[in-house]
Structure 1
Amino acid sequence: MSPVDRYLTPREVADILGVTPKTLGNWRVLGKGPRWVLLGKLHGPVRYPASAVTAYMATRDSRSSHDVGSAPVQDAPARRRRLKRPRIQGI
């Protein structure tokens, strides 16, 4: 984060990421989402450095709809085929 980094409000970040501010709050509790800072004392306003939001979006880059929710993007392992069990005929 540079000393002249712009700080975004939760509403601005929510609009950028396409989620609600409540979701951002949940992510903060769970340790997910972009890095954030607390301005002032314990109950000060939450802000997100613009560079942190940009970095978070870069880690969420997906190649297909199958990749959504997995970060960072990695090559998927080869998919194993499931073998069919032989059917047992009635006696």
Structure 2
Amino acid sequence: MGFDPHEPEQRSQLKDALTAADITVGELWLRYFSMTGSAGEYEVQAYLQGLISLPVIQRDLLALACNEMIAEKPPLHAPYADQMKGTGPSGPSSGR
């Protein structure tokens, strides 16, 4: 197995996605493992820290696991005034 020049960037973008989606390494590993991932949780942690390399198929499984978890999260959005239940301009509403 030779050096893959794209691995550092793939690792970096995976770490960024995990951080942005608030996904822990443990959560990622559990999903990845359930998808036939073969690296252990410590190996995934070491990979994310840049200490070890993983084969392309394992890196792609980690990306797939991360992307599926992101897709399952509810989208973040700013609420409109009529979506604010139980509050009005002067505080909680009564009988609404």
Give the TM-score normalised by structure 2.
0.32
Higher helix share: 2
Give the TM-score normalised by structure 1.
0.33
Higher strand share: 1
Higher RCO, Cα 8 Å, sep 6+: 2
